[in-house]
Structure 1
Amino acid sequence: MKRLRWVAAIWRRLVPGLLAALLGSAQAVQAADTLPGPVRAVMDAHELPDEAVSVWVQGVNQDAPRLAFNTDLPQNPASVMKLYTTYAALEALGPAYTWTTEVHADGPVHDGVLEGDLWIRGSGDPYLVARDLWRLLGEVRGRGIQRITGDLVLDTSAFAHSETDPGAFDERPFRAYNQQPHPLLINFNVLDFELEPSLDGRDIHVSTYPPMANLPVESRLSASAGPCFGGAHSRVAYDIAQEPNGQAVILEGSYPVSCGRQRLTRSAMTPEDYVYGLFRALWKQWDGTFEGGLRSGEWGRGDTTPVAVRESRPLVDVVRLVNKYSNNVMARHLALTLAVEHEAFPATDSGSHEAVSYALARAGVDTTRMIMDNAAGLSRNNRVTARQVAALLQQARTSLVMPEFKSSLAVAGRDGTLRNRFNDSPLTGRARMKTGSIDHVSAIAGYMRSARDEDLLVVVLVNAEDAHRGAGRAVQDAVLQWAFHSAAP
């Protein structure tokens, strides 16, 4: 294995130079059904079989691909699946689509006192954060309500309750990327635990953002000497304990003082408890008092004017976050919103996948044989072919939503998931791509401008043992370098 990794490292250094030497200024077009020599060499160095790799490279103004390899072999695309979800949302909902979060008062208000319950009704805003709730409650306070005698009631009826275990995918239920969709998801249902050594280096201080009155945090961290290898994520054991009065976070481990201040982002509560804890903290900041508890219900008074309404950021902003930074829960919110708009209420995962397929079909995208059981790509079962991904990219390129779709992709060497790839390379700024990576899967797809200023579609899907540990990326790099230097037919 050491020899294999050494060979792979050598090839990663040599591929760009070999391509420049072998291809030169007058490049020969590769036969469509064979792999370029440098790509084949990388596959051999990593012992990747042919069936592990699917590739499609095509000039956007050409009728046929210049490189097509295993194009009809169904592969797991990982987060490249988000291209389907975001394009469907843009086509069906429009770039300006927004979500609303409403606050209703269920009772009379006398002298600043709401004699009844305060309701918050969510519609699935994918990017609802603490400052949005703070402003929403400020609007409620501005309506003259200072004291609430009843309960906080949450209407989360837009989405069906998910029975999915957050840890089912990779046994990491507290990680942000594993959080489940929810109509009132705030801050993606995660907390930031900030760890910082004391000035004398004897203790480790822990603070939480946002602060939660209903979540005790017990730090058992001890300060230690030595280098900071791996940072907080590898040094701190995180767990949730059941206490007599509810749940509590337990942080344990030996934390090197040399790590300085670091942040650990984890989930700790149900979305309902999260909203409740945040509501209590923020309402107090507005000098409000609250005497009730927490309940769930369905607001059925459609003719009632809300006390306050928060309109979300437009869909185009959400799509940009989904594709550039590969946000899983936001992608699933888009699919569930499509189901709601398709009159599947409350929205379910299966209904959301059907709604995505329906929107794609209306937009002229072929989804035959495509398997989607997770709209974000966080799945072992999703399947699509390189030909289908290329067809989606071609269709999106001619769509009215093309500017919004293309601008949502990560830019090579500049931002998103490609921020640290192709730095100081001829490809910097010349490729807009969606990446995908889960265990044993590595994928990339999108648009690039070649050295001859030709616009290309490029799709690379790699499914093989440990493909996510470097082999998949090495193949992608080799294909992209070849495509960048290759001449138009």
Structure 2
Amino acid sequence: MSRATSPGRLLLLAGAFVLACSAGVARADFTRLSALADDGFAISAEARLLDGAEETLGSITPDRALTPASVTKVYMAAAALNRFGPQYRFTTRLKSEGDVDSESGVLNGDVWLEGGGDPGLTSENLWRLVQRLHQAGVRRINGELVISQWRFGPVACVTTDRCEARTRVDNAYSAPLSSAGVNFGSWCVNVAPAEAPGEPAHITHCDGPQALTEVDNRLTTRADGSATRISAERVTGKHGDVVRVRGQIAADAWPRDVYRGASDGAAQTADTLLAMLGRFGIPLSGPPRVTTAKPPEAAETLAAVDGKPLQELLLRTLNYSNNYMADVLALNLVETPGAELADAGAALEAYAASLPGHGEVRLASGSGLTPENRATAHGINVMLESMYHQSALFPSFVAALQSPENGVMRFIRRGPERFQRNVMLKTGTLNEPRAVRAVAGYFRTQSGRWGVFSVLVNGDRSTPYLNWSKVLEPLSGDLAEMIADR
């Protein structure tokens, strides 16, 4: 038999119901992400709305300066767009003081390649330069090929990876920096299986059969269906760069390209351009050389090639987190010749300082490879908000970020659907000397409002291993609730 409920008890139940409902719709924040602090990780995080009445949706010590790793590239992209504009193109030129004999096609004088600081300069661009030189009637050069990197280069190494790469490297991201660099400062070889198991694999240069650098082929062809395991490194000795390839490749495997950083970016350009001249049958009377001097004032342009528009360069730089391109772009922000990474960092700091309310920042490179870089979640959001309000620049800027659902980096394809489809971001990763996982970008709420978010998580020697799932899983859940609640 049920017992009647008193009016007082009804009021208590009603009050409890209201409180429960209020708790259920409480403002989303970084509740999940904040649990990382219990493991000793330092966190700087902030998420807030932009359009309409600005509102902070969540924060964890947003003014704490931490290492941003490759999120630094977002500063570089913003500064470059503000300086040059989305359609700016870097130009590479061939110049000479000499005259071309119209009958013999002999150019009497040195030919200078003036590096224009194009971070996307490729062999295809050099091929077009030589093609245009040939179209100008040049059939022989009675002089030297001179590679001028007067704008910047060779840039001193300031990170362990790049310093070690002067003699040995097993990656492409540590490539040397130069205003006259080509192919992202890396050698490229194409690896393909031989016709029969047991034979050495076929290794050719990506630009064609002519050798651009020595190859030490220790790669063996195995039977169909075998595992393919390839390791490669570039070593440098008395006679220049050698690309050493080891391991095995299945006889039915597809050919693949392997990239390894060169030891000298401008010297690599000299070798590549010399090979292009050879294919057009244009000989020189002397060996190529590299200089930091400008081409002579009297030198005239014989051929020129424009690079991709800046907005396309940024898309590749940020989507693939290309360290070479990021640092070359940052070096282009320095007006004085002979720029070093510290000068590029100072240019980025000056840009950040121009943003009202930005606050503390320390940037020693444009790539974020330098662990000395420091930024705050609040400062990054100030920069993101500044770009959001620039209608002429924002489309190119946000397009260079990744959507988790369609991200080039597979590890970001996780989290709730709202996070996957309503966020554009840039990530940053470092493992030495400290663990760093950083994320920053934009989000759209369920009602269509724009917001910015930045999250920096830093560990130390005493914290456990930090993988991306430990950051993205809680972050995606927190952001998904923020998106849904507004």
Measured against the shorter chain, the TM-score band is 0.7 to 0.9
Equivalences for 1:377-416 in 2 at 5 Å?
377-400=368-391, 401-416=393-408
Secondary structure of 1:306 counterpart: strand
Of 197, 213, 216 in structure 2, the residue corresponding to residue 215 of structure 1 is: 213
Amino acid at match of 1:185: G
| 1:417 aligns to 2:423 (yes or no) | no
Q: What's the counterpart of residue 474 of structure 1?
A: 473
Question: Aligned pair in 2 of structure 1 residues 237, 98: CA closer, same or farther (>3 Å)?
Answer: closer
Q: What's the counterpart of residue 3 of structure 2?
A: none
Q: Is the 8 A contact 1:167 1:178 kept in 2?
A: no
Secondary structure of 1:157 counterpart: coil
Secondary structure of 1:347 counterpart: coil
Q: What's the counterpart of residue 318 of structure 2?
A: 323
| Residue 370 (structure 1) shift | 0.8
Q: What's the counterpart of residue 189 of structure 1?
A: 185
Q: Using the alignment, how far apart are the partners of 2:411 and 2:436 within structure 1?
A: 20
Q: Using the alignment, how far apart are the partners of 1:252 and 1:482 within structure 2?
A: 49
| Residue 77 (structure 1) shift | 0.8
Question: Aligned pair in 2 of structure 1 residues 155, 417: CA closer, same or farther (>3 Å)?
Answer: same
| 1:168 aligns to 2:161 (yes or no) | yes
Question: Aligned pair in 2 of structure 1 residues 227, 171: CA closer, same or farther (>3 Å)?
Answer: farther
Equivalences for 1:24-35 in 2 at 5 Å?
27-30=25-28, 35=30
Q: Using the alignment, how far apart are the partners of 1:368 and 1:228 within structure 2?
A: 56
Amino acid at match of 2:190: E
Q: Using the alignment, how far apart are the partners of 1:227 and 1:57 within structure 2?
A: 50
Task: Answer with 383-392 or 411-420: which moved more.
Answer: 411-420
Q: Using the alignment, how far apart are the partners of 2:295 and 2:191 within structure 1?
A: 45
Q: Using the alignment, how far apart are the partners of 1:138 and 1:258 within structure 2?
A: 37
| 1:159 aligns to 2:158 (yes or no) | no
Q: Using the alignment, how far apart are the partners of 1:166 and 1:104 within structure 2?
A: 34
CA displacement, residues 212-262 of structure 1 (integer Å, 9 cap, x when unaligned): 534121212223469766x54xx425342536x444322233445575533
| Residue 265 (structure 1) shift | 1.4
Q: Using the alignment, how far apart are the partners of 1:240 and 1:151 within structure 2?
A: 27
| Residue 476 (structure 1) shift | 2.9
Q: What's the counterpart of residue 483 of structure 1?
A: 482
Q: What's the counterpart of residue 237 of structure 2?
A: 242
Secondary structure of 2:56 counterpart: coil
Q: Is the 8 A contact 1:148 1:291 kept in 2?
A: yes
Of 104, 107, 116 in structure 1, the residue corresponding to residue 98 of structure 2 is: 107
Amino acid at match of 1:481: A
Secondary structure of 1:301 counterpart: coil
Q: Using the alignment, how far apart are the partners of 2:249 and 2:410 within structure 1?
A: 31
Amino acid at match of 2:154: H
Amino acid at match of 2:202: H
Q: Using the alignment, how far apart are the partners of 1:395 and 1:133 within structure 2?
A: 38
Question: Aligned pair in 2 of structure 1 residues 23, 112: CA closer, same or farther (>3 Å)?
Answer: farther
Of 419, 439, 444 in structure 2, the residue corresponding to residue 427 of structure 1 is: 419
| Residue 478 (structure 1) shift | 2.9
Q: Using the alignment, how far apart are the partners of 2:219 and 2:159 within structure 1?
A: 26
Q: What's the counterpart of residue 7 of structure 1?
A: none
Question: Aligned pair in 2 of structure 1 residues 477, 201: CA closer, same or farther (>3 Å)?
Answer: farther
Q: What's the counterpart of residue 18 of structure 1?
A: none
| Residue 114 (structure 1) shift | 1.3
Q: Using the alignment, how far apart are the partners of 2:159 and 2:285 within structure 1?
A: 33
Q: What's the counterpart of residue 294 of structure 1?
A: 288
Q: Using the alignment, how far apart are the partners of 1:55 and 1:252 within structure 2?
A: 44
CA displacement, residues 450-488 of structure 1 (integer Å, 9 cap, x when unaligned): 334332212121112432453233333333333333x13
CA displacement, residues 137-161 of structure 1 (integer Å, 9 cap, x when unaligned): 1111111101112110111111143
Secondary structure of 2:405 counterpart: coil
| Residue 318 (structure 1) shift | 1.6
Of 85, 88, 91 in structure 2, the residue corresponding to residue 97 of structure 1 is: 88
Q: Using the alignment, how far apart are the partners of 1:23 and 1:249 within structure 2?
A: 65
Amino acid at match of 1:388: G
| 1:438 aligns to 2:430 (yes or no) | yes
Q: Using the alignment, how far apart are the partners of 2:429 and 2:366 within structure 1?
A: 15
Q: What's the counterpart of residue 14 of structure 1?
A: none
Amino acid at match of 2:367: A
| Residue 67 (structure 1) shift | 0.5
Secondary structure of 2:425 counterpart: strand
Q: Is the 8 A contact 1:101 1:123 kept in 2?
A: yes
Q: Using the alignment, how far apart are the partners of 2:407 and 2:129 within structure 1?
A: 31
| Residue 324 (structure 1) shift | 2.0
Q: Using the alignment, how far apart are the partners of 1:277 and 1:365 within structure 2?
A: 47
Secondary structure of 1:406 counterpart: helix
Amino acid at match of 1:296: V
Task: Answer with 91-100 or 297-306: which moved more.
Answer: 297-306
Q: Using the alignment, how far apart are the partners of 1:247 and 1:169 within structure 2?
A: 15
Q: What's the counterpart of residue 3 of structure 1?
A: none
Alpha carbon RMSD of aligned pairs, Å? 2.9
Q: Using the alignment, how far apart are the partners of 2:74 and 2:394 within structure 1?
A: 12
Task: Answer with 473-482 or 188-197: which moved more.
Answer: 473-482
Amino acid at match of 1:56: E
Question: Aligned pair in 2 of structure 1 residues 469, 63: CA closer, same or farther (>3 Å)?
Answer: closer
Q: Using the alignment, how far apart are the partners of 2:85 and 2:235 within structure 1?
A: 41
Q: What's the counterpart of residue 309 of structure 1?
A: 304
Q: Using the alignment, how far apart are the partners of 2:85 and 2:234 within structure 1?
A: 42
Question: Aligned pair in 2 of structure 1 residues 352, 199: CA closer, same or farther (>3 Å)?
Answer: same
Amino acid at match of 1:445: A
Q: What's the counterpart of residue 8 of structure 1?
A: none
CA displacement, residues 69-124 of structure 1 (integer Å, 9 cap, x when unaligned): 12111111111111111111111222222222111123232220112211111121
Question: Aligned pair in 2 of structure 1 residues 424, 290: CA closer, same or farther (>3 Å)?
Answer: farther
Q: Using the alignment, how far apart are the partners of 2:118 and 2:172 within structure 1?
A: 17
Question: Aligned pair in 2 of structure 1 residues 214, 93: CA closer, same or farther (>3 Å)?
Answer: closer
Bigger CA radius of gyration: 2
Q: Using the alignment, how far apart are the partners of 2:388 and 2:469 within structure 1?
A: 30
Question: Aligned pair in 2 of structure 1 residues 370, 292: CA closer, same or farther (>3 Å)?
Answer: same
CA displacement, residues 23-59 of structure 1 (integer Å, 9 cap, x when unaligned): 99x74313x6xx42x4456x48xx633x522221112
Question: Aligned pair in 2 of structure 1 residues 302, 421: CA closer, same or farther (>3 Å)?
Answer: same
Q: Using the alignment, how far apart are the partners of 2:251 and 2:163 within structure 1?
A: 31
Question: Aligned pair in 2 of structure 1 residues 287, 226: CA closer, same or farther (>3 Å)?
Answer: closer
Q: Is the 8 A contact 2:193 2:221 kept in 1?
A: yes
Q: Using the alignment, how far apart are the partners of 2:297 and 2:321 within structure 1?
A: 36
Task: Answer with 126-135 or 151-160: which moved more.
Answer: 151-160
Question: Aligned pair in 2 of structure 1 residues 359, 166: CA closer, same or farther (>3 Å)?
Answer: closer
